[in-house]
């Protein structure tokens, strides 16, 4: 059997539009490969490989560096999913998703009986208990070769000495300057002393974050979860109407999950289980698409090719809205992955028109067979056969926009990934139901989709993406381009994208899509909207045993090996 591996994508973060970008410059190496959204993070991962570390060490080193140079997307104040294919053939899934604090409750975002989305997106109520650092620590101890301190100190040096802001980074800071000004810690980090914004070309230093990283290197993660950081966070929350306490941090534990295993056209697909919706729905969409000859369809009518993919996405996202949630609290049916159920959904798709999907489907054994109880993606492999994907996030850009004073740590706004009220869309426009309602200690649903593809029981691909719910569609599109259309990896990652998430009932397409294709899609009933997507990173094993790494051409990332 062929098996394909794709790795975690971290959810949310800023959405980027592909328009006129040059093809991504791939990296090729025999000793391993790291692909990230930022050259400094890739270099940190490569340094870990060169210093005797394995792919797990490399991915963690890259993730910690991204918390410094790409902090609008991820950081230790957020969460992550880690998917690993170990050299001995085992699959490991480490859930570092944030949790709701113990004092959280399902009506916490209602005011006068009405949902207030601002409360779940900005400020003290928006943050879940951070889990990324605990997950990195667990992965390093259980499967790495290097102490976590090395990666922390390497990142601390960059935080202290600073890095040059590019135009897009400076624009993000400027766009959010009014919100940063509301919070003492954020003002100190992201605004100048006179209240003005940092500009492109300036050296951006984060001395508080450097001290935090160095304290973690010296004292371990207890400094964060049981020590000074936990006390500082509790003090700020108490003074600002938040719910998170030091006890919440002390109680946090990353969870070991059983990876999702599915197949697609003879390849094995390894994905992340709930509370990720990504692994479930990447597999479900591929199961539906397996009933169509996509290569033949694309050859005769590219618009119909995108139509079929969009219709499959629509049905999967309708199921997501109703069935998906934290498996420790919600009964998430395994039948969503059933091949016969996918056949039934495929039969609903009409090649000549878009169809209305009124509600979720009813997968088999829904009452009895359940799963056990702004974002970035890092892909890393080593010559020994370890393949790693980490998707990390603080949710939307700079999360809750809160920095805990004196620490440099940006807090996530992952509480917005819960259903704050039935049918009320979150910042990404997603709606949810009871399965994803707020509850103490619960993990909010995520679209992060770390994936691994195996061919003949050997890792072939690892990939993941950033971009909220478009993470799922990006992973699907890259796999279809690579496995169905046989495009090279760079073309698969850089290909035109579409996204249909059921509600709102619109087909988002990349602005660079051919105008004739857009007109054809509109002609058969799709409500087309041109819009942005996220970013994707991927690594492939070449026939000669070397590794090909590709970063998304929509941003200036980097793929390189030792």
Q: Which residues have a catalytic role annotated? A: 375
CA–CA dist 75, 37 (Å, integer): 14
Residues 6+ positions from 280 with CB-CB distance below 8 Å: 260, 271, 273, 274, 320, 324, 332, 336, 337
Contact 49, 505 (CB under 8 A): no
188 to 99, 203, 303: CA distances (angstroms):
27, 15, 50
Contact 470, 508 (CB under 8 A): yes
Examine residue 202 and say whether the peptide bond preceding it is cis (omega within 30 degrees of 0).
Answer: no
CA–CA dist 559, 540 (Å, integer): 12
Other CB atoms within a 10 A radius of the CB of residue 41 amount to 30
Nearest to 539 by CA among 47, 42, 61, 44: 42
Nearest to 433 by CA among 277, 324, 280, 281: 324
Cross-strand bridge partners of residue 532: none
Pairing state between β 267-271 and 375-382? unpaired
296 to 156, 299, 305, 478: CA distances (angstroms):
52, 5, 9, 17
Question: In 345-468, which ranges are E strands?
Answer: 375-382, 387-393, 451-455, 458-466
Contact 45, 59 (CB under 8 A): yes
């Amino acid at each position: 059997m062929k098996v394909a591996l794709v790795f975690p994508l971290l959810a949310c973060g800023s959405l980027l539009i592909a328009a006129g970008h040059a093809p991504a410059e791939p990296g090729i190496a025999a000793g391993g490969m790291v692909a990230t959204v930022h050259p400094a993070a890739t270099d940190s991962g490569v340094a870990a490989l060169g210093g005797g570390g394995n792919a797990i060490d490399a991915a963690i080193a890259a993730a910690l560096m991204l918390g410094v140079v790409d902090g609008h997307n991820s950081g230790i104040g957020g969460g992550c999913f880690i998917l690993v294919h170990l050299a001995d053939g085992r699959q490991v899934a480490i859930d570092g998703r944030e949790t709701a604090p113990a004092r959280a409750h399902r009506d916490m975002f209602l005011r006068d009986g009405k949902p207030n989305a601002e409360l779940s997106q900005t400020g003290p109520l928006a943050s879940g208990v951070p889990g990324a650092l605990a997950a990195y620590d667990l992965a390093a101890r259980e499967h790495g070769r290097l102490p976590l301190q090395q990666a922390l100190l390497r990142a601390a040096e960059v935080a202290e000495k600073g890095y040059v802001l590019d135009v897009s980074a400076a624009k993000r800071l400027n766009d959010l300057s009014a919100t940063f000004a509301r919070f003492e810690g954020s003002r100190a980090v992201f605004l100048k002393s006179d209240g003005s914004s940092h500009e492109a070309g300036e050296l951006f230093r984060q001395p508080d974050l450097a001290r935090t990283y160095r304290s973690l290197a010296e004292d371990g993660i207890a400094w964060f979860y049981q020590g000074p950081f936990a006390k500082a966070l509790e003090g700020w929350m108490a003074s600002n109407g938040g719910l998170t306490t030091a006890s919440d941090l002390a109680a946090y534990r990353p969870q070991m999950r059983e990876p999702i295993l599915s197949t697609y056209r003879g390849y094995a697909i390894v994905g992340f289980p709930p509370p990720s919706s990504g692994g479930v729905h990447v597999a479900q969409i591929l199961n539906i698409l397996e009933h169509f000859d996509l290569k033949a369809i694309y050859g005769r009518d590219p618009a119909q090719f995108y139509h079929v993919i969009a219709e499959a996405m629509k049905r999967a996202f309708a199921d997501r809205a109703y069935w998906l949630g934290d498996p420790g609290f919600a009964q998430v049916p395994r039948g969503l992955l059933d091949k016969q159920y996918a056949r039934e959904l495929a039969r609903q798709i009409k090649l000549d028109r878009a169809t209305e999907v009124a509600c979720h489907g009813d997968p088999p054994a829904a009452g009895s067979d359940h799963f056990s109880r702004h974002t970035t993606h890092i892909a890393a492999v080593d010559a020994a056969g370890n393949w790693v994907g980490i998707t990390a996030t603080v949710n939307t850009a700079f999360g809750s926009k809160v920095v805990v004073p004196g620490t440099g740590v940006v807090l996530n706004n992952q509480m917005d990934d819960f259903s704050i009220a039935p049918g009320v869309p979150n910042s990404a426009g997603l709606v949810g139901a009871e399965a994803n309602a707020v509850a103490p200690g619960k993990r909010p649903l995520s679209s992060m989709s770390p994936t691994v593809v195996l061919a003949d029981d050997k890792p072939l691909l690892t990939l993941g993406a950033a971009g909220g719910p478009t993470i799922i569609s990006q992973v699907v599109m890259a796999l279809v381009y690579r496995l169905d259309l046989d495009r090279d990896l760079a073309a698969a990652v850089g290909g035109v994208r579409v996204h249909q998430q059921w509600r709102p009932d619109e087909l988002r397409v990349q602005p660079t899509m051919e105008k004739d294709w857009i007109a054809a899609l509109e002609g058969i009933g799709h409500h087309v909207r041109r819009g942005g997507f996220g970013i994707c990173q991927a690594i492939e094993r070449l026939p000669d045993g070397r590794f090909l790494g590709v970063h998304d051409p929509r941003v200036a990332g980097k793929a390189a090996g030792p």
